[in-house]
Structure 1
């Protein structure tokens, strides 16, 4: 009897930029309500799910991509979002002894404010859904994803969307034409809880009272819908930016330098420390990437909106030759 060759499903999922991010006050549950405008960009994580011979969920990570994101320092145990995603899907679908090996290829900065871990989780959900033939709908996957992290449903959907609640209540929005950005990755990440904590501390010190955010910025949505980078440059905003710059002051000089080199605007992506510079067009983004790299920055031109989680290649036998 011939032993079946393990099947592998590869899925990619995008990193994101928060083009606008309003953050409410600290809630009793320890979270903050937000009103954000997500934009998926053309920097994709990849997860390969391979059927394993024995029950268990194993996770491996390899470095990849033009930003040279290292694979070291990422926990590979059951607390990894990819392992949690596979376990959640197995539990929901009634698979008692899931047997899968999950290989993450890192392209999105780790702890960089671009939702790389959420992209991994989204890719793992879609990959395992295909590998195991569980047939869950997009809505079911999004519901499972929301329990793993606020950004996971958006990584599944991609495109551009308004996120309310903790960011998981999504409404797709129009984005007429690709917008071009240059990302600058930092050598080390920032803790999202630490940045939110610094925001709370800064507000307390200054006496600022934050309102509960209920709607996204209409001017941002209009600029996205028109595909107008000049209009968008004047209205992008991130409530977390002062806190991220307070935790990592060196980011301020890089933001200034990007603007001096021709960016229409620059912003901290999410909780940082990745910076996103808006360019006038693709040629301007390519020139800005070259200029920043010449000065030693880990820069990459990308565009958005980009698609959400999708198969990177059809299911195929793993190569064991």
Structure 2
């Protein structure tokens, strides 16, 4: 957040009064869930408002992209979006604002946040090294096209649930993430055996997640797994215990139940 304010101050290139931020973190730190990027996006908007700046959206997005590849998405106010390039090309798939994408936000999510994160830069560097042709489309490209088509077809809830088995293996970062964080394949295997559902990787990791038809279903799965985590049959990792969070796309992390 301080970097975001400093970036905006440098762009303005004029004297500006000091600002103070109060941050209450509710998204787990270093979890691959975009918490830092969403904080940066919020800080840019807050600082611009506090300083009375008239800054257009494209310029704000460019400043955000300089802070991190995920920041332009959080600035775009999209419920669902296709993000391309280095994160600088954001196309909303379900409109903008709080009402957009409401069916998708009713989905339940079970997050498995594990310690022992590798740096995002190292994961992306491993992906680049593994590709014979730099920036060539990976395995995610075909399934992404199908997902976008279904999301634009008007039923994002059904699209995400229906494509979950294919989305499981569509994250091109998985092989490198699994190599750099060797606990991830063990954890994913244990979760899939316990839940009988595909377990996906969030970004560059280390958080894994499972999609459910509702937050209630996600909460029930969390309760089942909580006992197994206590027994050590799921989540016995060298870096520490797994944190389980049941939530929804609508409520993000804030009201989620944790174990």
Higher relative contact order (CA 8 A, sep 6+): 1
After superposition, where does 1:23-62 map in structure 2 within 5 Å?
Answer: none
Name the SS for the 1:104 alignment partner. coil
Residues 128-174 of structure 1 show CA distances to partners (whole Å, capped at 9, x for unaligned) of 12222224344432222122111101112241111111122000013
Q: Which residue of 1 aligns with 2:235?
A: none
- Say if 1:109 and 1:274, in contact at 8 Å, map to a contact too: no
Distance 2:225 2:133 in 1: 35
Q: Which residue of 2 aligns with 1:221?
A: 148
Displacement of 1:302: 2.3
- Say if 1:88 and 1:144, in contact at 8 Å, map to a contact too: yes
Q: Which has the higher strand share?
A: 1
1:182 aligns with 2:127: no
Q: Which residue of 1 aligns with 2:72?
A: 153
Residue 117 of structure 1, aligned match among 27, 33, 36:
36
The normalised TM-score by structure 2 is 0.75
Q: Report how many residues are paired.
A: 223
- Say if 1:198 and 1:247, in contact at 8 Å, map to a contact too: no
- Say if 1:219 and 1:235, in contact at 8 Å, map to a contact too: no
1:196 aligns with 2:124: yes
Q: Which residue of 1 aligns with 2:136?
A: 211
Q: Which residue of 1 aligns with 2:244?
A: 299
Consecutive unaligned residues in structure 1, runs of 5 or more = 1-81, 308-321
Displacement of 1:89: 1.6
1:131–1:209 Cα change, 3 Å? closer
Name the SS for the 2:22 alignment partner. strand
The normalised TM-score by structure 1 is 0.62
Distance 2:146 2:214 in 1: 20
Residues 37-87 of structure 1 show CA distances to partners (whole Å, capped at 9, x for unaligned) of xxxxxxxxxxxxxxxxxxxxxxxxxxxxxxxxxxxxxxxxxxxxx222101
Residue 51 of structure 2, aligned match among 118, 124, 132:
132
1:187–1:212 Cα change, 3 Å? closer
Displacement of 1:92: 2.8
**RMSD value, Cα:** 2.7
Displacement of 1:199: 2.5
- Say if 2:116 and 2:181, in contact at 8 Å, map to a contact too: no
1:184–1:246 Cα change, 3 Å? same
- Say if 1:145 and 1:152, in contact at 8 Å, map to a contact too: yes
- Say if 2:173 and 2:204, in contact at 8 Å, map to a contact too: yes
1:165 aligns with 2:92: no
Q: Which residue of 2 aligns with 1:256?
A: 189
Residue 267 of structure 1, aligned match among 183, 200, 208:
200
1:233–1:187 Cα change, 3 Å? same
